[in-house]
Amino acid sequence: METALMSPTEWAQQEFGNVDLGDIRRARRLVRVASQLSKKSQGTLPGTFPNWSELRAAYRLLENPSVTYQQIIGPHWARTRDACRQPGEYLVVEDTTALDFTGQAAEDMGMIGDGRGRGILVHNTLSLRIDRWSADQEPQVTTVGLLGQQCWRRPIGARTKLHKKKGDPCESDRWAAVFKQTGGPPQGSRWTLVADRESDMYESFERCQGVNVDFIIRAAQQRALVGENRYLFDAVAQGPLLGRFTLKLRAREGQRARDAVVEIRVLPVTLRGPQRPGGKRPDYPVTVVEAKEVQAPAGTIAIHWVLLTSWPCNTLDQALRAIKAYACRWLIEEYHKALKSGVHIEDSQLETADRIESLLGVLAVLAVRLLNAKLLAVTCPNQPVDPAELGPEAMRILESQLGKPPEGWTCRSVVRAIARLGGFIGRKGDGNPGWQTIWRGFQQLMVLVAGYELGRSERCG
């Protein structure tokens, strides 16, 4: 679903043109609202719609009880699921984030954080297509879209996990729940769930196995093993060393980017089935892959991943693929960042949670577009870009501002040119621009396009 380099109008039509809101006028309005948000999403609608009539129309759309979050985002889910049924390999990355509206005027917000915050919990299932594997077994991916997204508001004063009553709904049920709606992949398509330690529960494995979905899940529990006097973490730590490799770690808060030397151990085990209401569950065979950093610099947190996977890991290359596929999990964090600091969903001043969720239906898809712009430049750098996709006016402006690149307009050259407008210098050692710089540049480009079109209309008039 390569909509990242489409013009705002074409992107909005592609994503929302077939939304059924019960009235063709509402559907057309949704496309116009989405197009404007794609040009300039400032969180608050007045920052995006300076024209009063357009602002009022956007408010009316989001306030209409006939316009719901599910209706708005549903077609995007359907297109993503159809795309993931095409032959190929897909990573299905899941995680939950909290949208924080503490202190704002919106009604009906739920409890987040320590119970004093107010907001909406959002569980995202992001699908990534593996376009190819690099020589060092790293997957080169692009974003397909959201396979699903669950929103809920935790009731004020809700019981904690330790104090739930028997029969209360469990928030952990969200993990791998999307496969109940989608089913599994058809023949020729391979899906792999990638998730962190919060998803380490027997039900996650069951849900994947039931629909022929693979998994790479980071272990959180010291599980009992069948036929062993040892537990999970102890057993794999004592396993034979398969090899070493160097993992490039991105910069994180309080830590610089660095190259980590990581040792790999692999051990096939059978997890003892847990007791559940109704009896004991069957024992479950998995492969355990341990990736442990050695000689980590002082003051840094050493990498130590223990992964449970259904992938075969009999060779070093196979184990490397599983580890580096799990490393793609950081893209869901990037997606959450795009949702919050990119399209500014938490800055919304809408008055009810339902209206904010309707706005989320548009901005969640826009955040996918932002993230994919960055990935296209890395995964498909030499793919030609048709000027009609971005818009002839935009291409003319890029050429007039920066000149036409010697290699022509490709995914890489277009993305870097847009990023230049956002402050990216583009020196040889600068690497590829991040999505935030690309987004700033794209918004600046849209301002220049608007000025160009205004000037042309005045000359024609």
pLDDT digits (tens, 9 = 90+) for 255-297: 777 888 999 999 999 999 988 888 889 999 999 999 999 988 8
pLDDT at 103: 83
What is the Cα Rg of the chain in Å? Answer: 24
Quote the number of domains for the chain. Answer: 2
202 and 92 in one domain? yes
Clarify whether residues 327 and 392 are in a common domain.
Answer: no
pLDDT tens digit sequence for 338-350 = 999 999 999 998 9
Same domain, 197 and 314: yes
Give pLDDT tens digits for 391-450: 888 888 888 888 888 888 898 899 999 999 889 887 777 778 888 888 888 888 888 887
Using CA atoms, how far apart are residues 420 and 409, in angstroms rounded to an integer?
15
> Mean pLDDT across the stretch 296-301?
84
Q: How is 375-399 classified by DSSP, letter by letter?
A: HHHHHSTT-B--HHHH-HHHHHHHH
Is residue 354 one of the residues assigned to a domain? no
Domain CATH number, residue 217:
3.90.350.10
Q: Both 255 and 111 in a single domain? A: yes
End-to-end CA distance of the chain: 39
Q: Say yes or no: 213 and 330 in one domain.
A: yes
| Mean pLDDT, residues 16-26 | 92
Residue at 258 is within a domain: yes
Helix axes 435-460, 392-402, angle to 10 degrees: 110
Does 18 reside within a domain?
A: no
Domain end among 335, 368, 401: 335
Query: Residue 262: enclosing H or E segment and its boundaries?
Result: strand 258-271
Q: What is the pLDDT of residue 304?
A: 94
Please check whether residues 403 and 324 belong to one and the same domain: no
Strands 189-195 and 88-100: parallel
The whole-number pLDDT of residue 349 equals: 87
Query: Is 428 found in the same domain as 293?
Result: no
Look at residues 307, 335, 363 and tell me which one is the last residue of a structural domain.
Answer: 335
Strands, E assignment, 34-138: 88-100, 110-112, 117-133
- Looking at the domain assignment, is residue 22 inside a domain? no
Q: Do 397 and 327 sit in the same domain of this protein?
A: no
Q: pLDDT tens digits for 98-138?
A: 999 998 767 789 999 888 899 999 999 999 999 999 999 99
Q: Does any domain span residue 356? A: no
- Domain ends where: 314, 335, 356? 335
Residue 341 falls within a domain, yes or no? no
Q: What letter represents residue 169's amino acid?
A: P
Q: What is the mean pLDDT of residues 70-82?
A: 96
- Out of 24-28, 241-245, 297-301, pick the least confident: 297-301
- pLDDT classification of 456: cutoffs 50, 70, 90: low
* 44 assigned to some structural domain: no
Q: 3-state class of 146 per DSSP?
A: strand
Query: Dihedral sign, CA of 262, 263, 267, 272?
Result: negative
Residue 224 bridge partners (DSSP): 231
pTM of the model: 0.91
In this structure, are 316 and 392 located in the same domain?
no
Residue 398 lies in a domain: yes
HSE, side-chain direction, 13 A CA sphere, residue 38: 28
Q: Which of 36-50, 154-168, 321-335 has the lowest mean pLDDT?
A: 154-168
Q: Work out the mean pLDDT of the chain and round it to a whole number.
A: 89
Cβ within 8 Å of residue 229, ≥6 positions away? none
Beta bridge partners of 57: none
What separation in angstroms does the CA of 451 have from each of 225, 320, 326, 455?
Answer: 67, 50, 45, 6
pLDDT tens for residues 208-233? 999 999 999 999 999 999 988 889 99
Residue 402, domain CATH: 1.10.740.10
* 204 and 83 both lie in a single domain: yes
**Per-residue model confidence as pLDDT tens digits over 145-202:** 999 999 999 888 765 444 444 444 578 889 999 999 999 999 999 999 999 999 999 9
Residues of the domain holding 100 = 70-335
What pLDDT sits at residue 1?
Answer: 42
Query: Alpha-carbon distance 208 to 191, whole Å?
Result: 9
Residues 307, 424, single domain; the answer is: no
Could you write out the DSSP letters of every residue in 281-339? PPPEEEEEEEEEESSPPTTSPPPEEEEEESS---SHHHHHHHHHHHHTTHHHHHHHHII
Instruction: Kindly state whether residues 385 and 331 are assigned to the same domain.
Output: no
